[in-house]
């Protein structure tokens, strides 16, 4: 079993290409190999003393040190290539894939975007994104409830994004676990749809605390649901004072321009 994500060790990376979509569907690009479990370059253990026959050995090691060091490696790799990586997180059904479909279609030819899809099973989302005209890699995590830095490294290798482009990582739909695992992204974007209710920032503070941007989605449904946007904004500010909030509907297009502006502002300048 994978010691980083708790998955069955069978996370599969699928690279969906246009030919495969038209033809026989995606094939397994490679198996999520964990390789030797190298440990971070911490100091050697220090023998602190003895108690009865047992010795105490100080470790002082972060539990997620291995994931964090792999995430930093991803971050360095992305920065060297001037690639903006955005980690998109939400509960299942908040509208991540719909947002990306419209984004890919409307920004085609203006911003170079590719997508890494994370789901427990199926390449359904990858097909949707590919149909919208976007290069995409699907990662299936098996029983895993989140993406980790090693999965992203494998995904980036399969995706081979262009220098100066944007990679959007659609994390596994889950408002809890993905918050803990740094992937090496430049920005964290959390989606919350109006149908989920306005209490999400206070119910899932770990997720919202780390958000750079919060997208309130499905605003076209506001007339039909009990969603107090002022309370939402006030609660979000308590949990995450630095997070920016935008409202949008990927169905009607309302608010999408602000999202595109946010992406454009963060996209690295073209390199010579």
Partner 1 sequence: MHELAITESVVEAVTGRLPDAKITCVNLEIGALSGVAADSVRFCFDLVAEGTNLQGARLEISEPAGRCQCRICGEQFDADGPIALCPCGSVEVTIVSGQELKITSVQVA
Site string (31-70) toward partner 1, x via CB under 8 A: ------x-x-----x--x--x-xxxxxxxxxxxxxxx---
92 lies in the site for partner 1, by CB under 8 A = no
Interacting span for partner 1 (CB under 8 A) from 83-91, 95-103, 139-147, 149-157: 139-147
Of residues 232, 253, 172, 240, the one with CA closest to residue 207 = 240
DSSP H or E run through 80: helix 65-80
Q: How far is the CB of 123 from partner 1 (least distance, A)?
A: 24
237 lies in the site for partner 1, by CB under 8 A = yes
User: Beta 84-89 vs 187-193: how paired, if at all?
Assistant: parallel
Query: Between 47 and 105, whose beta carbon lies closer to partner 1?
Result: 47
**Alpha carbon distance 207, 20 (integer Å):** 35
Q: How far is the CB of 1 from partner 1 (least distance, A)?
A: 7
230 lies in the site for partner 1, by CB under 8 A = no
CA-CA-CA-CA torsion sign (270, 85, 74, 139): negative
233 lies in the site for partner 1, by CB under 8 A = no
Site string (201-220) toward partner 1, x via CB under 8 A: -x--xx--x-----------
Q: How far is the CB of 37 from partner 1 (least distance, A)?
A: 6
180 lies in the site for partner 1, by CB under 8 A = yes
User: Among 108, 238, 252, 257, which residue sits at the site for partner 1 (rule: CB under 8 A)?
Assistant: 238
Q: How far is the CB of 179 from partner 1 (least distance, A)?
A: 6
**Alpha carbon distance 129, 105 (integer Å):** 9
**Residue 255 backbone class (left: φ over 0; alpha: ψ -120 to 50; beta: rest):** left
264 lies in the site for partner 1, by CB under 8 A = no
**Alpha carbon distance 131, 100 (integer Å):** 11
**Alpha carbon distance 30, 28 (integer Å):** 6
Hey, how many other C-beta atoms are within 10 angstroms of the C-beta on 185? 24
Which residue spans within 79-196 are E strands per DSSP? 84-89, 113-119, 135-140, 166-170, 187-193
DSSP H or E run through 263: helix 256-266
Q: How far is the CB of 220 from partner 1 (least distance, A)?
A: 30
Site residues, partner 1 (CB under 8 A): 1-6, 37, 39, 45, 48, 51, 53-67, 144-146, 176-177, 179-181, 202, 205-206, 209, 237-239, 241
């Amino acid at each position: 079993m994978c010691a980083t994500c708790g998955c069955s060790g069978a996370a599969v990376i699928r690279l969906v290409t246009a030919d495969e979509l038209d033809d026989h569907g995606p094939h397994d690009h490679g198996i999520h190999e964990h390789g030797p479990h190298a440990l971070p370059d911490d100091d050697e253990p220090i023998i602190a003393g003895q108690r009865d026959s047992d010795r105490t050995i100080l470790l002082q090691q972060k539990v997620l040190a291995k994931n964090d060091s792999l995430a930093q490696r991803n971050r360095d790799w992305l920065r060297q290539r001037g690639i903006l990586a955005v980690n998109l997180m939400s509960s299942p059904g908040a509208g991540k894939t719909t947002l990306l479909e419209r984004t890919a279609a409307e920004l085609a030819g203006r911003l170079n975007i590719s997508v890494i899809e994370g789901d427990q099973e199926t390449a359904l989302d990858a097909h949707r994104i590919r149909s919208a005209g976007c290069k995409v890699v699907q990662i299936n995590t098996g029983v895993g409830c989140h993406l980790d830095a090693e999965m992203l490294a494998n995904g980036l290798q399969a995706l081979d994004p262009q220098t100066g482009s944007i990679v959007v990582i659609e994390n596994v739909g889950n408002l809890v676990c993905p918050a803990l695992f740094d992937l090496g992204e430049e920005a964290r974007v959390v989606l919350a749809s109006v149908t989920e209710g306005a209490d999400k920032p206070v119910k899932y503070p770990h997720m919202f605390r780390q958000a750079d941007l919060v997208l309130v989605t499905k605003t076209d449904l506001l007339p039909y649901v009990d969603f107090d946007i002022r309370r939402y904004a006030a609660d979000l500010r308590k949990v995450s004072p630095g997070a920016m909030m935008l409202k949008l509907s990927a169905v009607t297009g309302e608010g999408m321009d602000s999202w595109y502006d946010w992406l454009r502002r963060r996209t690295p300048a073209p390199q010579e």
